[in-house]
Amino acid sequence: MFQLIARHARGGTLSALLASVALMIPALPAFAGQTDSYTLPQQSYNQSRARNYKVYVPSNVQSPAPMVMALHGCKQTNNDVLNDWGLKAAADEYGFILVAPFITSYDGLRNENCWGFWFEHHRHEGAGEVEDLHQIALAVESNYTIDANRRYITGLSSGGAMATVASVTHNEYWAAAAPASGLPYGEDSASVSLSGQCPGSATFHSVSQVSSDMQSEVDDQYPIPLMVLQNENDCTVVKEAADNTRDAHLQVFGESGFQTTGQAYASSVACSPYYQNNHSCEHIRYTQDGTNGARSVVETVYLDGPLSTPNTQDTNHGHYWVGGENGNNGKWSVRVGPSYPDIIWDFFNRHSRDGTEPEGFPVITLIGDNPMTVAINTTFTDPGATGQDAEDGSLTVTADCSGVDTSMVGAYTCDYSATDSDSNTTTKSRQVEVYDPNAPTETCEQATASPSAHISANRAYAGGNSNLRAYASGDDIDIGGSFDTWSNVTLYEGDPGLWYTSEPSACSGTGGGDDGGSGGDGTCQDWNDTHLNHDTAGRAYYSGGYYTTGGNDYLGAVSGTYSWVKETDSGIFEAGQCN
């Protein structure tokens, strides 16, 4: 998020079962609401700028509705928030209005699209970016009916840091805040680790200084609840940032005698829900009087998450949003792990400004995995689901799995519904993937690049004397010097993440030629690589800019920029991805 270093990343070896399931196209959630686009004009106060923002309104929204503002991180946009974070599905399920601002333009030396949490003129009430965000929220209230006791803000990375700033500068407005991989209030840019190394290193203000800065800014007695979400292995925003945020918040907003973690500790549970892997996530509550029944001052969600992500644009430094079942593997966003949208909403829903809990829609919790994998020609048993309503308590959940056919490989769904006494109905789906355990697991992809580029893309690794040689990840064969950026070597993928110097036998006849093309058989293969590497591999050529070979599509003029190129016929390359 804060870093600009981009490299390829691929997952490790997967079992045959997971590899076959990974080849299926996941079912995407269908959103029934609408997205409206707006622009906040530049305001008269200091350092204001025009800001674009989008508002997603679910079809089942209540009136007045809770509002959740979500702030993107560096090198992201509000479209990434809407498309990848799983928040639209959460808005559909829980009935809140989702607001996604875009920084649009900015001042000062900073990475692309970073919110300026470290600039003095952007972190005080009445000026700069934090005031623009407040004005966006007020503009939303003028267009939609918003519950004044349920205005919430969250964000990732610089957006998480700005959510923290908003919770301090406008604690009279927001009901609760939930920064993910954010920074303490008043921090400098040095609080971000930009070394490109793991573990990361950064310098921080003392907790007492952060507390003092917060107390100087706060102008309302409301002890705004804060949820701090952090990957303990994050090498960009290190765990100390989350600890300091927690400790300073307790000092400023905690009751006398309950201003440290030891005094305010109330409970600790495993994070729930999660998608596929909980990453040993621990959810801790620190409350006003140290008891579990009291209102929270701070809650922490700390996970032991991986460094690498499936997205090749990420820096693989453990720095990302976890979207859960309905999220996507986008830019600095992963799907697997504790589901931030559900965990954050649960926190928000428990912390209105006036302490009341609204009557809302039923909540359906699926029992077992989603998606579920079932071997072909075996029996499928639905593990079921539970229903809960704030007013009615437990509800009966109706399940329909009649469409699941275990005699054929494919993706099917089980549909669930629950209705409360006010006729509010919630629906949810489980994906059931029927797979053939005897089906080939090889992807049969091919990639031509230099040994150094193969290492960067995790198709090879550095080894030998002083790590000067490059070895294919699948068969451990030497493919050249690890420093070699000029040679061309073709590797072939077997099981996902394993690359070989020779084409796996299961792939014989599926490819064609060293370029991994279609061989004229109508198949398509695509690559996401730099223009220079496309040129080196024969997929593009340079003529005052980079153009695809055969297709002559213009890619751009900068050699280090990444573009998608696809081979639609033998030796014919075009811009874009295969369908």
Each residue of 44-99: pLDDT tens digit?
999 999 999 999 999 878 789 999 999 999 999 999 999 999 999 999 989 999 99
In a shared domain, residues 471 and 423: no
Residue ending a domain, among 406, 424, 439, is 439
Q: Which domain holds residue 506?
A: 446-575
Question: pLDDT-derived band of residue 347, with 50, 70 and 90 as boundaries?
Answer: very high
Does residue 512 register a pLDDT over 80?
Answer: no
In a shared domain, residues 289 and 411: no
In a shared domain, residues 277 and 329: yes
Residue 432 inside a domain? The answer is: yes
Each residue of 265-285: pLDDT tens digit?
999 999 999 999 999 999 999
Query: What average pLDDT does the structure give for the chain?
Result: 88
Does residue 176 register a pLDDT over 90?
Answer: yes
In a shared domain, residues 470 and 493: yes
Does residue 390 register a pLDDT over 90?
Answer: no
pLDDT given for residue 102 in this prediction: 98
List, as own/partner pairs, every contact residues 554-563 make where C-beta atoms lie below 8 angstroms and the sequence separation is at least 24, other chains included: 555/531, 556/531, 558/531, 559/530, 559/531, 559/532, 559/535, 560/530, 560/531, 560/532, 561/530, 561/531, 562/6, 562/312, 562/313, 562/528, 562/529, 562/530, 563/528, 563/529, 563/531, 563/534
Q: Cα torsion for 111, 301, 249, 294, to the nearest 10°?
A: 150
Question: pLDDT-derived band of residue 357, with 50, 70 and 90 as boundaries?
Answer: low
> What is the count of structural domains for the chain?
3
In a shared domain, residues 435 and 451: no
pLDDT given for residue 215 in this prediction: 97
**How far, in Å, CA of 309 to CA of 315, rounded?**
8
Question: pLDDT-derived band of residue 24, with 50, 70 and 90 as boundaries?
Answer: very low
Each residue of 285-325: pLDDT tens digit?
999 999 988 999 999 999 999 999 998 878 889 999 999 99
Each residue of 514-549: pLDDT tens digit?
333 443 445 688 888 888 888 878 888 888 888 888
pTM: 0.64
Does residue 506 register a pLDDT over 90?
Answer: no
User: Over the range 526-545, which residues count as b (16 or more CB within 10 Å of their CB) and which as e?
Assistant: bbebbbbbbbbbbbbeeeee
pLDDT given for residue 333 in this prediction: 96
Each residue of 86-136: pLDDT tens digit?
999 999 989 999 999 999 999 998 999 999 999 999 999 999 999 999 999
In a shared domain, residues 397 and 504: no
Residue 297 inside a domain? The answer is: yes
In a shared domain, residues 165 and 248: yes
Residue 37 inside a domain? The answer is: no
**CATH assignment of the domain containing 414:** 2.60.40
In a shared domain, residues 568 and 538: yes
Residue 1 inside a domain? The answer is: no
Q: Which residue has the higher pLDDT, 405 or 390?
A: 405
pLDDT given for residue 391 in this prediction: 79
pLDDT given for residue 252 in this prediction: 98
Residue 503 inside a domain? The answer is: yes
Residue 96 inside a domain? The answer is: yes
